[in-house]
Amino acid sequence: MSSITASGIGHAPAEPASRSTATTAPWRRWAQRWIAWPFPLLILLLWYLGAEYEWIAPQVLPSPAAVWATLVDLFRTGEIWGHLQVSLLRVFGGFALGLAVGGALGIAMGLSPVFKDYVYPLFKAFSQVPVLGWLPLLMLLVGIDEALKIILIAKAALVPIALNTYKGIQGVPTRYIEVARVLRFTRWQLLTKVVFPSAFAPIWNGVRYGFTHAWLALVVVELLASSEGIGFLIVYGRQLFQLDVVLAAVVVVGFVGFVLDKALALIEVRLTRWRRAGF
């Protein structure tokens, strides 16, 4: 017979967790946390052995110790900070532009079927051209100064933001819209209280993907047309055949990208706290 409990009517009280489940839970949490470490550690070990036993010439593959020493020296002298500041300003500027244009485009396509019918085919064709495909044309139009870099970074961020925003709005359940109409919501109330909160998760995924694409595009653009920035530092090290500088800059690129993505994930947790509290 079902019983009446504090958790609801018709639900039997929860059985206490078995000893085996309680014992294996910490192990599972530990495994999920550390399961990603063996592979990169193996790569690092192979790198160390390859440099130690000179499987590859030291001029081509510097040792991890040499790269670490170069990295410390770049931070100690402050050289890396100047390049990193320039790169961050570029990526945030391009991302902000891509977020504004991509968000507006995705909202318009999601809310207006007529606008979507006119624009979506052209947008799909636009999105299929990679960032570097626009480089020659933009160099003729805006030159090789900062505007070129900002536009290319914005293009990289724009596509995933627009697509995820459009699909998020299209994915709002119809029953939510029907309930809002029964409650006589105005159009503004419908958007702010139903559509955007329901579509927040895919929209934010688009923001994260957009920032990742913007960071990748930044490095590519700086590799081709720049006199400062992290990408320029990589090119500079390659031109002087200083592979330790190249690898040190690559480590910085990976670490900064990882930290920025984690920061966006933490922001998402804070922004979606109201959704978890409602369940």
State residue 161's pLDDT score.
Answer: 94
As beta bridge partners, residue 140 has none
Contact 104, 206 (CB under 8 A): no
Burial 140-173 (b: 16+ CB within 10 A, else e): eeeeeeeebbbbbbbbbbbbbbbbbbbbbbeebe
Q: Which domains does the chain have, with CATH numbers?
A: 25-59 (no CATH), 62-277 (1.10.3720.10)
State residue 30's pLDDT score.
Answer: 63
User: What's the CA gap between 27 and 16, in Å, rounded?
Assistant: 19
Contact 165, 205 (CB under 8 A): no
State residue 103's pLDDT score.
Answer: 92
User: What's the CA gap between 174 and 92, in Å, rounded?
Assistant: 36
Per-residue pLDDT 10s for the chain (279 aa) are: 433 333 333 444 444 444 554 455 666 666 666 676 777 778 878 877 877 777 777 777 788 888 888 889 888 888 888 888 989 999 999 999 999 999 999 999 988 889 998 998 888 888 888 888 888 888 888 887 888 889 999 999 999 999 999 999 988 888 888 888 888 888 888 888 888 888 888 899 899 899 999 998 888 888 877 778 888 888 888 888 888 888 888 889 889 888 988 888 888 888 776 555 544
User: What's the CA gap between 7 and 12, in Å, rounded?
Assistant: 9
Q: Return the amino acid letter for 224.
A: L
